[in-house]
Amino acid sequence: GEDVEQSLFLSVREGDSSVINCTYTDSSSTYLYWYKQEPGAGLQLLTYIFSNMDMKQDQRLTVLLNKKDKHLSLRIADTQTGDSAIYFCAESTRQNNNDMRFGAGTRLTVKP
Amino acid sequence: KAGVTQTPRYLIKTRGQQVTLSCSPISGHRSVSWYQQTPGQGLQFLFEYFSETQRNKGNFPGRFSGRQFSNSRSEMNVSTLELGDSALYLCASSLQGDHEQYFGPGTRLTVT
């Protein structure tokens, strides 16, 4: 089947930038998403990007998409302790996203 | 605007029993999707309901079923529980099944 892969752990110091990487295999992916999950909570949609875009910025978040390499990244500027969470990359091929595939999640730890 | 709510938040059942989980979507949302989250398998799509009809289904056995009511509230049922059904069950709603899905906090099911 099609896969979405992420590194499992990332540790940064407060105030630094965090970069979380994701690769996917389905070349027909249309939408790519980043979700955040805090302990005991559901998934919070952070941002998404259409496959015809290569960059999207939203306040401290920057998403970069390299469609040729099927590589997606999420950069968090000025990382805060409140950013500590698990970040999931996901992709879907249709506008109805019930076929959404998720990565295993990257646990971001922000040290003071 | 109230978010997606799920009840109960925690549940302990024994093998062989059955369980019903409930999800109330955001007001006005007509699509409800269910996901299973486990440490080993990550997030996996169970099924999606739209206008009281199951529109899509993931690769889960028939023990997993669901329904949606006219007010868009959804329930999922698992019969003949197995130890491997222990997981966080997440519900997500969206307007029409388009890309912006909003997740509830989940129901943590433990099967002993």
At B5-38, the pLDDT tens digits run 999 999 999 999 999 999 999 999 999 999 999 9
Closest chain A C-alpha to B10 CA, distance in angstroms: 11
Distance CA B44, CA B42 (A): 6
Whether residue A96 and residue B105 make contact (CB cut-off 8 A), yes or no, is no
The tens digit of pLDDT for each residue in B41-99 reads 889 999 999 999 998 888 899 999 999 999 999 999 999 999 999 999 999 998 876 66
pLDDT at A76: 98
Token pair in block for residue A19: 């970069």
Low-confidence ranges of chain A (pLDDT < 70): 1-2, 94-98
Q: For A81, phi and psi rounded to 5 degrees?
A: -60, -30
pLDDT at B41: 85
pLDDT at B100: 78
Distance CA A75, CA A26 (A): 22
Closest chain A C-alpha to B70 CA, distance in angstroms: 20
Whether residue A99 and residue B102 make contact (CB cut-off 8 A), yes or no, is no
Q: For A8, phi and psi rounded to 5 degrees?
A: -85, -30
Whether residue A95 and residue B101 make contact (CB cut-off 8 A), yes or no, is no
